[in-house]
Amino acid sequence: MIVTVTLNAALDVTYRIDQVDWNGVNRVQSPHRRAGGKGVNVARVLAALGHDVLVLGLAGGPTGQALAIDLTASALPHALTAVDADSRTTLTVTGLSGTTLFNEPGPLVTPEELGRFLDGFDEALTGAAAVVLSGSLPRGVPADFYATLAARAADRGIPALVDADGEALRHAPTGRPSIVKPNLEELARASPAGATGPERQAELMREAGAAAVVVSMGHDGLVAVTAEGTWRARMPYRVAGNPTGAGDALVAGLAMGVVEGTPWPERLRLAAALGAAAVATPVAGEIDHGTFQDVHRRINVS
């Protein structure tokens, strides 16, 4: 079982509109609403590929109830910790002119609520093959909380993968995660002044405690800096579509590689292909299998 943690879970709303008139009325062609947040998206991809998952997170208010209902309807096992404040909604507007994302900040979480979450997290580690910690932190959650969770998993011999930004990413290596997965911009923001280049910045994260760092670079592919060496996965072409959720599908591929013990070259090929296949779908948490098969066989890893 792979446990995914989404502390700032959301009700994801996606509007598909060919052309947006920001000063007028827009007719939404195909609205879509479902439980989201980065860890939920990771769980959706893993479940679609046949892996047992458990979704953990915080959920509160009417929006939190909608999240739980949708997870149940999607056959995604979950153990959400209740909070008093209402969970957030995100809005993605996608069309011919590109994709725009609106993210609410999320609920204010109390120390007592975090304590209940930690109790549930420790219980969920029993039987877990890996843990994925991803997404933003809601208000009230300490910046080093992912490091805390990763360390609890590491103490029990369970690999943790962290996909975060800002201070959460900066603290993450101290929890000894198996993989930290920033994109280029996130890596640069979390790196010390004067550290230039993704390979050097990734190596500094390894020195701080992360076993491996995988840097996603969009259509330019991936760079993985590990104890076994550095690899680069190059994409054969740019996939058009909605990039929201591409990083989550990529993380799902990395988690599969960790659990299955896949060598790094094939692990990166799988992760990069899943990321591309997610771009080809209209909503996060899904992959286009035709795109996956075509891209996967063409990716070059060196």
List 134's β-bridge partners, or say none: 163
Give CB contacts under 8 A, 24+ apart, made by 152-156. Answer: 152/118, 152/121, 152/122, 152/125, 153/125, 153/128, 156/125
CA distance 272 to 251: 9
The token pair that represents 262 in the structure block: 């896949």
Catalytic residue among 12, 70, 163, 248: 248
Q: What are phi and psi of 266, to 5 degrees?
A: -75, -30
Q: How many CB atoms lie within 10 A of CB 17?
A: 17
Q: Report how far apart, in Å, the C-alpha atoms of 217 and of each of 184, 190, 226, 263, 285 are.
A: 6, 16, 17, 21, 19
Q: How many CB atoms lie within 10 A of CB 264?
A: 18
30 DSSP assignment: -
- Report which of 135, 96, 103, 92 is spatially closest to residue 6, judged by C-alpha positions: 135
Is 248 a catalytic site residue? yes
List 93's β-bridge partners, or say none: 15, 100
Q: Are 205 and 194 in contact (CB under 8 A)?
A: no
What is the set of active-site residues?
Answer: 248
